[in-house]
Structures are given as C-alpha cells and as structure tokens.
Amino acid sequence: MSDTHATLVRTFYDALARRDLDAMERCYHPDVTFGDPIFQELEGRARIMGMWRLLMGYGTGLDVSLGRVSAGRHEVTADWTAGYTFAATGRRVVNQIDSLFRFESGLIVRQHDDFDFKHWSKMALGRPVGLVVGWTPALRARIRSQAMEGLKESMAPA
C-alpha cells in the first residue's frame, strides 16, 4: 500500500501545482485533519478545502515544487516548496515545507505540514518586523488569528 499512498501524495501535489481544487479534494478522506504552524488544526474536508481556497486566493504567483516523497509502512513524508507573493505585503515567499501523511480507505486522513515560522515571517513581513518579532508568540498568535478569521469569512454563506 505504501507505493499507492506515495502515488496519491504525488497526485495531490500535482493538483496543487495546477490549482485544481477538485482534484485535491478527491485525495482527502471526508474526516481528514490538517495542521501547520499557522492553521494549527483543521478538521474535515470542507474546512481544509476552504483553507486551500483561501490560500490560493490570498497569495499570487503560486509555484509548487515537490521534492522527496518517502513511503513508510503507515505514512508518507514529502518535502515541497511553495513560492508565492504574500498579498498583505507584496513580498515574495519561498517556503520549504515538510509534510507527513496518514491514510484511511485509500485516501489522506491526516496531513501535517511543518515549516520554519521565523524564516517565513522574515520573507513574508520583511525587515524589521519579521526579523525582530518573527519568533515571538504574539506575532504567531496574530498571524494565526488573522488566518482563522479569513477562513471563517471565506466559508460564510454569501
């Protein structure tokens, strides 16, 4: 099964690179959970796809590059790069991300992305903000709050 799971992860990143939300969604189990340094923990396919829609609409010039994909007995890990222009500042970000995937019924049931928040904040926010306060819990909390508020607004009925 690990080769099948690795193929599914590659399919997911190929869809992300094409900005094909429908194809991405087909890779996720209905009860999928997602976590990363900004969104922390999201549950359910609808919320996670809402996050991807928000991210694709918020940053411009998204470039996705998949690196190493390694299949273990029960999980797949992937290294990938997301390059985009951070809309709030107009600054270019090239984020190196490590992902861990788990599976159920042949679909992704858990995705956890990890990246260096301090490094990200220096790119996204620039100097001096990202350099001076990029590591602080207060900045992390503010960025997380803004991200969750954006997700909530984007998923509200029109």
Q: What pTM was computed for the model? A: 0.90
The share of the chain scoring above pLDDT 70, in percent, equals 92
> H/E/C letters for each residue in 58-109?
HCEEEEEEEEEEEECCCEEEEEEEEEEEECCCCEEEEEEEEEEEEEECCEEE
Domain interval for residue 108: 2-115
Q: Flag whether 43 is in a domain.
A: yes
Considering the domain boundaries, does residue 98 fall inside one? yes
- SS3 percent helix, strand, coil of the chain, rounded to 5, is 45, 35, 20
Total domains in the chain come to 1
In terms of phi and psi (left: phi > 0; alpha: psi -120 to 50; beta: otherwise), the region of 61 is left
pLDDT digits (tens, 9 = 90+) for 52-68: 988 887 656 889 999 99
For residue 63, which phi and psi values (nearest 5 degrees)? Answer: -120, 125
How far is it, in rounded angstroms, from Cα 40 to Cα 56?
Answer: 18
Residue 140 inside a domain? The answer is no
Domain at 49, CATH number: 3.10.450.50
